[in-house]
């Protein structure tokens, strides 16, 4: 799997941008979009092309390279290295890798603004890392945030979870762990869409060396000026990524996304949709984690 950035001006008002690729194959966030004015990125008014070399995305973690991350992780580095077979550690490392890669590539594209990093702690357990970029030449605002939290489930949370996970004992205090990454990116140019994705892992300790777990997440696109060929390309890439794991994933998760983001009062869906899933535990944990990765 590779993360690639390619930008090209064909005319003074046409911008081709593969902003980011994520997922087992590629969730391309953007493809070909028109610029209102080349001046917003501080470039001269003539055709040109820029190509950034592809960067390999790490999917196995025998060693941790802190240079790829925006700051130290919520969990200790030693803990992550010593428990590389633990899925909570795998998910945290994946989130750290993705946050670092995405933030650094966005900074390269913008050329002006830099991400501000805020590492915060949660008194009840865990914490998070918020990365926010504002007032750039290309991006009005971009956020790439991680949370890694743990603690005891409240009675209300147990009640809600038992609707889907009846193995959770409502009469017993249960410890939980949750880790996820979410991102929303708002470009200055109205011809470039707003992008959103999030991926998360949840684990509940049932006692006696037992646990229940599930994954959730999705990716969607909200263009303000619709280019049909780009909408088609976005969904084709989502389907390609899903089909590598299960051919039923894309139609199932696309419909879920359409329903989830349906605006009842307007009688329409938000943007062009994408995929959305929750409580994904249909198969082995390694297979589900590989799909999320």
What digits encode the pLDDT tens for the residues 184-227?
999 999 999 999 999 999 999 888 888 889 999 999 999 999 99
The pLDDT assigned to 98 comes to 96
Alpha-helical segments (H) within 21-146: 77-82, 87-110
Q: For the whole model, what pTM was predicted?
A: 0.77
Domain made up of 60-292: CATH architecture: 3-Layer(aba) Sandwich (3.40)
What digits encode the pLDDT tens for the residues 79-100?
888 776 689 999 999 999 999 9
Which residues carry out catalysis? 196
Q: Give the list of residues 6+ apart from residue 29 with CB closer than 8 angstroms, or none.
A: 19, 20, 21, 22, 185, 195, 197, 219, 221
Cα-based torsion angle of the residue sequence 177, 57, 146, 106 in order, rounded to the nearest 10 degrees? -170
Positions in the chain short of pLDDT 70: 1-63, 84-85, 162-163
Per-domain boundaries in the chain: 60-292
């Amino acid at each position: 799997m590779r993360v690639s950035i390619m930008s090209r001006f064909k005319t003074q008002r046409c911008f081709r941008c593969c902003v980011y690729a994520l997922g087992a194959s590629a969730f391309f966030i953007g493809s070909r979009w028109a610029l209102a004015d080349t001046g917003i990125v501080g470039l001269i008014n003539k055709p040109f092309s820029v190509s950034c070399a592809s960067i390999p995305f790490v999917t196995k973690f025998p060693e941790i390279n802190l240079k790829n991350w925006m700051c130290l992780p919520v969990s200790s580095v030693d803990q992550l290295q010593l428990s590389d077979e633990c899925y909570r550690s795998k998910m945290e490392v994946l989130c750290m890798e993705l946050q670092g890669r995405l933030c650094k590539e966005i900074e390269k594209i913008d050329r002006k603004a830099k991400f501000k990093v805020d590492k915060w702690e949660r008194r009840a357990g865990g914490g998070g890392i918020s990365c926010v970029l504002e007032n750039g030449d290309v991006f009005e605002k971009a956020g790439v945030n991680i949370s890694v939290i743990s603690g005891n489930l409240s009675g209300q949370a147990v009640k809600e979870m038992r609707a889907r996970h009846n193995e959770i004992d409502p009469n017993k205090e249960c410890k939980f762990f949750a880790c996820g990454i979410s991102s929303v990116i708002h470009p200055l140019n109205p011809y470039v869409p707003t992008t959103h994705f999030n991926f998360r892992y949840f684990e509940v300790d049932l006692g006696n060396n037992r646990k229940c777990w599930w994954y959730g997440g999705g990716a969607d696109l909200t263009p303000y000026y619709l280019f049909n060929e780009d909408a088609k390309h976005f969904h084709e890439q989502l389907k390609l990524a899903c089909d590598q794991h299960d051919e039923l994933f894309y139609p199932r998760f696309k419909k879920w996304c359409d329903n989830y983001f349906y605006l009842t009062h307007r009688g329409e869906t938000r943007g062009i949709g994408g995929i959305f899933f929750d409580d994904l535990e249909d198969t082995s944990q390694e297979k589900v984690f590989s799909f999320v990765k």
